[in-house]
Chains A and B, each alone.
Chain A
Amino acid sequence: MSLQTLQGVWWKKVDASEKMWIGIALVWCLILFAMMPLWHLKGGQNPSFETYRTTPEQFLKKVEAFVAAGPKAGEEKGLPVIAPDPKTEVYMLGRLWQWYPTLKLKKGETYRLHLSSMDLVHGFSLFPLNLNFMVLPGYEYVLTITPTTTGEVFVVCNEFCGIGHHQMVGKITVE
C-alpha cells in the first residue's frame, strides 16, 4: 500500500499493459511536441518574435507620425481612422483606457502592426475573432497580419489594467 515502507528489492518488471501505455503516451507526447515547430513551417498563425526595445515617449512619437501621415479615412467617436497602404508599417498603442488610433484594412492584404503600451500591461484581443497577444510597455511588438474576413472587429483589452479596463475597446474595420 502507498503508506508502507518498501523492504528489500522492490523494483519489479513492468507489466506488458503498462509498458504499452507508457509507449503510446510517449509517442503522443512527441507528436504534441512536433506540432509546434511544424506549424511554424507550414501553419498560418504563429506568435511573432519581432520585438524591439522602446519607451512610451519614443513609441508615442511613431504613432503620432503614423497618424499624421494618414491616409486618414475620417474620424469615429473622436478617434482618427487610418487606412494604411498594404505592406506598410501600421501602429497602434494601448493606454489607460484606449486603443489609438482605429484602423481600416483590406482583406487579403498584409500589414506590419506595431504594438506597445504607454503605461501598464494591456491585452490585445481581436473580438469576436479571438486572436490574442500581450502588449507590454517598453517592448514594441510587430505582428505581421493578413485579415481573412471582412467587417468590423474590435480590440478588447483582455489583461486587467485598472478600474477602466472593461472600457478599453478599439476598432479595426476590414473591407
Chain B
Amino acid sequence: MEAVYRTCAQTGLKVHNHAERLIRANAVAGVVSILFGGIAAVLVLLTRWPAVHLLDPASFYRALTFHGINMLIFWIIFFEIAVLYFAGPIVLGSRLAWPRIGWVSFVLMVAGTLLINIAILQGKADVMFTSYAPMQAASYFYLGWILFAVGALVAVCNFFASLVVAKAERTYTGSIPLVTFGAATAGIIAVVTLAHGAIIYIPTWLWSLGIIEKIDPGIYRLIWWGLGHSSQQINVTAMVSIWYLLATLTVGATPINEKVCRSAFLLYILFINLASAHHLLVDPQLSPAWKIWNTSYGMYLAVLASMIHGMTVPASVEVAQRKKGLTKGLFEWLAKAPWGNPGFAALALSLSLFGFIGGITGVTFGAEQINIISHNTLRITGHFHATVVAGTTIAFMGLTYYVVPLIFRRHLISTKLATAQIYLFGIGMTIFIGGMTTAGSYAIPRRHWDVQFATSLFQPPVEAAAFAFLGIMGVGGLFALAGGALYVLITVGSVLFGRRVPDTPGAVPLAAMPQDKGQHVPIKGTTVLVLVFLASFIIYYFLNWKWLAAIWIVK
C-alpha cells in the first residue's frame, strides 16, 4: 500500500494517509459502540430506578451485559487504538508501520464485536461482561472476545512498530514527546493485559466447546481480573496522556517538568498491573498478604503516580496562563481559563471528577477491609462511573472535538453546543454517581433487578433514604444520557454535515504557546487545589474505617 502524506495546515504535522484512515475507522467504531451502550444505558437506568422499574428480569440482565461490554470494552478500546495511531505515527511525522495489518486488526476487532453483540442479543450470553465460570455462554461469545483481543493486540504492536520505524527513518530527533511517551506506556500495559485475556479466554472457549472439562472459578476470577482491571489502567494512562494533550491544545501548556511526568508514567507500568486484586479482596482463595500487596500496587506507588499527574497537569495550565499575564491572586489563571472551549471544559471536568470522586473512592474501596462494606454494592458501580465515564469518557469526548476538525477535517456544527454537551454530561454524571454511590452504602447490590425484593422468599426492609438516592441516580442519569446523545449527534452531524476545514493555517483555533522568558512562575493556585484534594481524601478514607468498625465483627 502506497504511503501518501499531507501536511496539516493547522498543526504542521505530517499525516500519513493510512494512519489517518485507521484513526477515522476506529473512532467511528468507538462512537457506534457508545451509541449502542447508551441505548442499553437508558433501559438499565430506568429499571434500576425503583419508581420506574422498566424491564423484565431477563431483558434487564441482557441489557446490562450489553451496556457493560459495549461501553467498557468496545467504546473505550476502539477509541484508544485511534489515540495510539495518532500519538505514534502522526505526532512523530512518520508512517504507520504496517497499513495492511492495521486493517486486518480492525476487521478482527469488528468481527469480535459483532459476534459478542449477536450472542448477547440472541440471549445466548446473559452472563455480564465478567462471565464468571462456571456460568457459561455460547462458545461464539468467547470466540468474539478472542478475536477482539487479538485484533487489539496486533494494533498495539503496529503502534510500537511505528515507533521503531520513526526512529529508524529519523522522522524526528531527540526524545519522543510526552503524549507519545504516555501512549507508549498505555501500549505496554495493554500488551500485558491482552495477554491475560488470551490466557483466560482460550481455555474458557475450549471449555464452552466441551474440550476442557472444568474451569476453576477462583483461578478464573484471578486471571480474568488481570485482564479486567489492568485494562482500566490502560484507560487511566491514555486519559492522562490526553490531559496533557488537551492542556497543550487549549491553553498552550507545556509540562512543567518532563522528568517528573515521565517518571510518573513509568510508575504505572511498574505497579499498576497488580491491581486485579481490587476485585478479589473478599474472595476465599487468596491470602491477606497477597491481597494487601497487590491491592496497594506495591505500597500505592501507582496512586502516587496519579497524584503526581493530578498536580502536574493543572500546574502546567497555571504556568501557561500566568505567562500570559493572568497573575492576579491565587486563581485568576483559572477564572480566566477558556471555559467556553469544549476541550478545556472536558479537561477540567475529567481531571477533577476522576480525582475527587473516582480516585478517592477507588483507593478507599480498594483497601482490603473497607472492601467488606463496598464489594458488589452500587458503591462500586458509582466508583467506576466516576473513573471510566466521568474521567476517561469525558476526556475522549473533549478530544473528539479536536479529532473532528483535524482528522475528519470538518468544523463542528456548533462549538457552543459541544461545550454545553460536556457540561451537561459531566454534571448529570456527577449527580448520577452521587446517588448511586450513596445508595450503595445502604448495601444496595449492583447487577440486581429488584431491590424491592417483590418476588423473593423474604422481603428485607429497605430504608426510604436508599430509594431516594436511587431516584437521584435516575434523574442525574437522564441528564447524562441527554449529554451522551448530544455527543453522538454533534459528532456524527459534524462529520457528515460540518463545513469543510480549509487548508489555511488558523482555520481551527489552537492555543498559542506563551512566550518563555525563562522566568520562574509560581504554582500557588495548584498547590491550594491539591491540598484541598488531599484533605477530602483523608476525610473520606477515615470515615470509611469508622463505618467499617460499626458492622459485625468478622475475621
Contacts and interface: CB of A to CB of B under 8 A. Distances in A.
A29 B259 contact: no
B393 interface: no
Given A77-B457, A126-B552, A148-B553, A6 B258 contact: yes
Given A35-B545, A77-B457, A165-B449, A134 B369 contact: no
A66 interface: no
A1 B446 CA distance: 43
A136 interface: yes
Contacts of B176: 5
Given A5-B176, A14-B257, A167-B455, A40 B288 contact: yes
A90 interface: no
Contacts of A137: 134, 217
Contact of B283 (A1, A136, A156): A136
B124 interface: no
B260 A167 contact: no
Interface in A109-159: 110, 119-121, 123, 125-141, 143-149, 152, 154, 156-159
A168 B457 CA distance: 7
B456 A44 contact: no
Given A12-B257, A49-B287, A36 B368 contact: yes
B549 A121 contact: no
Interface residues of A, number: 88
Given A129-B551, A147-B552, A36 B443 contact: no
Contacts of A10: 174-175, 258-259
Interface string A31-53: 01101110110011111110100
Size bin of chain B's contact surface: 35 or more
A172 to B, nearest CB: 10
Contacts of A88: none
A132 B552 contact: no
A3 B91 contact: yes
Contact of A43 (B258, B285, B457, B549): B549
Nearest to B280: A134
Contacts, number: 301
Contacts of B287: 49
Interface string B170-201: 00111111110000000000000000000000
Contacts of A140: 284
Interface string A75-112: 00101000000000000000000100000000000100
Contacts of B441: 130
Given A6-B177, A168-B456, A29 B299 contact: yes
Given A128-B462, A166-B448, A168-B456, A159 B545 contact: no
Most buried by A among B307, B526, B553: B553
B554 A131 contact: yes
Contacts of A139: 217-218, 284-285
B25 interface: no
A48 B447 CA distance: 25
A12 B257 CA distance: 7
Contacts of B300: 29-30, 32-33
A4 B177 contact: yes
B256 interface: yes
A131 B377 CA distance: 10
Given A121-B217, A170-B458, A146 B552 contact: yes
B144 to A, nearest CB: 20
Interface string A1-39: 111111110111011011011101110111011011101
Given A21-B530, A29-B303, A32-B541, A158 B377 contact: yes
A45 B513 CA distance: 54
Contact of A2 (B127, B247, B257, B296): B247
B304 interface: yes
A161 interface: yes
Contact of B553 (A20, A44, A136): A44
A163 interface: yes
A153 B308 CA distance: 44
B134 A143 contact: no
B551 A131 contact: yes
B464 to A, nearest CB: 12
A169 interface: yes
Nearest to A40: B288
Given A48-B555, A147-B552, A39 B369 contact: yes
B369 A36 contact: yes
Max chain B C-beta neighbours (<10 A), residue from A77, A128, A161, A168: A128
Contact of A22 (B296, B308, B458): B308
A11 to B, nearest CB: 4
Interface in B471-508: none
Interface in B360-411: 363, 367-369, 371-377
A121 B445 contact: no
B288 A46 contact: yes
A170 B253 CA distance: 57
Nearest to B91: A3
A113 to B, nearest CB: 9
Interface string B287-302: 1100110011001110
B458 A169 contact: yes
B540 interface: no
B162 to A, nearest CB: 15
15 contacts: A10-B174, A14-B257, A18-B257, A18-B311, A25-B308, A29-B301, A32-B300, A36-B367, A45-B554, A121-B132, A126-B551, A128-B466, A137-B134, A149-B552, A156-B460
Given A45-B372, A158-B445, 12 more contacts: A2-B179, A2-B245, A17-B522, A17-B524, A32-B300, A43-B549, A44-B549, A46-B288, A134-B375, A145-B554, A157-B445, A169-B456
Q: Which 5 pairs from chain A and chain B are nearest by CB? A: A29-B300, A158-B445, A141-B284, A130-B443, A154-B460
